[in-house]
Amino acid sequence: METMSWNQQIVKKNNKALVLQLIMEKEPISRADISQVSGLHKTTVSSLVNELLNEELIYESGPGESSGGRRPVLLHFNKVAGYAIGIDIGVNYVLSVLTDLKGNIVNQKNQPVNQTTYSSIMNIVESMVQSLMDEMPASRYGIVGIGAGVPGIVNKEGTVLLAPNLGWNNIQLKTDLETLFKVPVMIENEANAGAIGEQQFGAGQDFQNIIYISAGIGIGVGIILNKELYQGKNGFSGEMGHMIIDLNGKRCNCGSRGCWEAYASEYALLEMAGKDMDSDSLESLLKLAENRDENAQNLFEKIGDYLGYGINNIINTFNPDQVIIGNRLALAKEWIEPSVRKTIETHTLSHHQKELHLDFSKLGKYSTALGVSAFVVENFIKQEEKTA
């Protein structure tokens, strides 16, 4: 057998991942069409397709439509060749999903949390992952990886440097999960992951420049510019929950004062509610608002105002196609949307309001879990570059 140069090997690996990517996106597709779209020679496509068939990552069905002549065999992506696990670690919940390789949820676990110490969260995560694995259908590759979204600052090595609302500092989450489960692990900031989830499967599918606002106990922002997640130099972008909107304002968990999330988050809502009424959760406040409790409705209106002020700053800065409000406060859409919109209409530069789409998340509580699961699948597909 002829030996390939290092460069030839790299090219072949990239080509194989490219072919697989094309089949994922455009299935069902023929070999001839892959060749045409990718610009790769037909014999190259044919041999890469054969490798992918052997690896059971794709399968054939046939014959498809033809404008004349022999009808081609069509190729499909084998979305159940393996499964991914996506975990959303919230401040007051942990949600885990098992998805196929196209992001369809196959199984899920959800649990409220009242203790955020690393060991208690890890206990929950470990048992959730274990039961998702135990209940998983049989497949060629099994679990291709685990992704976790965390409300904090995550470096590129998967260490959670700081998660103020969890009380975490320098947590080696990636290493710990890899040691436990012996599969590739990816850790992302939950707002970044939520942005990717909504872009790939939810409200953001038709847009190029998306700002995703994850409004939970804290507020994080995921920034997608020209369809790419903007991560900043070290992956720390989007901490807009800590933009200061009141110079002498309330203390924030980050140690500063007057941060946006101290006024516009679920935490802020519960704090305001605690002073005025007997309610201990977002859900109970929602129920009160539905029962026409004016006090509860006013609280949501106020939170909507505060959200609107921060979103104003964001729209004026980024001129995005779309702003998506997600995470827990999206449950209160009915009660916060009017005041969010009114604040923006009143304050945001008028040119910036043109052609702006303000939407709520379409995936609900799944934005982050599906986003990290998509990262895991993407990473697995790229592994094709290593096995070629």
Nearest distance in Å: CB 274, Zn ion: 20
Residue type, 220: G
Identify whether the C-beta of residue 211 lies closer than 8 Å to the C-beta of residue 222: yes
Which string of x and - marks every residue 225-244 that binds Zn ion (by CB under 5 A)? -----------------x--
Distance CA 95, CA 302 (A): 28
Identify whether the C-beta of residue 96 lies closer than 8 Å to the C-beta of residue 43: no
| Residue 50: both structure tokens together | 């054969």
Instruction: Choose, by CB under 5 A, the member of 185, 259, 269, 324 that binds Zn ion.
Output: 259
| Residue 360: both structure tokens together | 């709520």
| Residue 40: both structure tokens together | 């790769």
| Chain centroid offset of residue 197 CA | 4
Nearest distance in Å: CB 244, Zn ion: 8
Distance CA 78, CA 330 (A): 34
> DSSP class of residue 255?
S
Nearest distance in Å: CB 222, Zn ion: 18
Nearer to Zn ion, 81 or 259 (CB): 259
Nearest distance in Å: CB 247, Zn ion: 13
Closest listed residue to residue 238, CA positions, set 256, 252, 218, 255 = 218
> DSSP class of residue 21?
H
Stretch that binds Zn ion, among 51-59, 82-90, 108-116, 247-255 (CB under 5 A): 247-255
Position 254 contacts Zn ion (CB under 5 A): yes
Nearest distance in Å: CB 22, Zn ion: 44
Instruction: Choose, by CB under 5 A, the member of 61, 66, 120, 256 that binds Zn ion.
Output: 256
Output the CA angle 37-195-228, nearest 5 degrees: 40
Nearer to Zn ion, 37 or 272 (CB): 272
For residue 84, what are the β-bridge partners? 99, 145
Nearer to Zn ion, 168 or 201 (CB): 168
Nearer to Zn ion, 76 or 257 (CB): 257
H-assigned helices in the chain: 6-26, 31-38, 42-54, 118-134, 173-181, 190-201, 261-264, 266-276, 282-290, 294-318, 333-347, 350-353, 367-387
Which string of x and - marks every residue 188-227 that binds Zn ion (by CB under 5 A)? ----------------------------------------
End-to-end CA gap in the chain: 15
Nearer to Zn ion, 252 or 282 (CB): 252
Share of the chain residues as helix, strand and coil, in percent rounded to the nearest 5: 45, 20, 30
Stretch that binds Zn ion, among 97-105, 136-144, 251-259, 299-307 (CB under 5 A): 251-259
Stretch that binds Zn ion, among 124-132, 216-224, 226-234, 250-258 (CB under 5 A): 250-258
Nearest distance in Å: CB 257, Zn ion: 8
Radius of gyration (C-alpha) of the chain in whole angstroms:
23
Nearer to Zn ion, 16 or 242 (CB): 242
Nearer to Zn ion, 260 or 366 (CB): 260
Stretch that binds Zn ion, among 56-64, 128-136, 246-254, 300-308 (CB under 5 A): 246-254
Closest listed residue to residue 307, CA positions, set 275, 335, 279 = 335
Instruction: Choose, by CB under 5 A, the member of 85, 252, 299, 311 that binds Zn ion.
Output: 252
Nearer to Zn ion, 84 or 307 (CB): 307
Distance CA 335, CA 313 (A): 22
Give the interface with Zn ion as residue ranges (CB under 5 A).
242, 252, 254, 256, 259
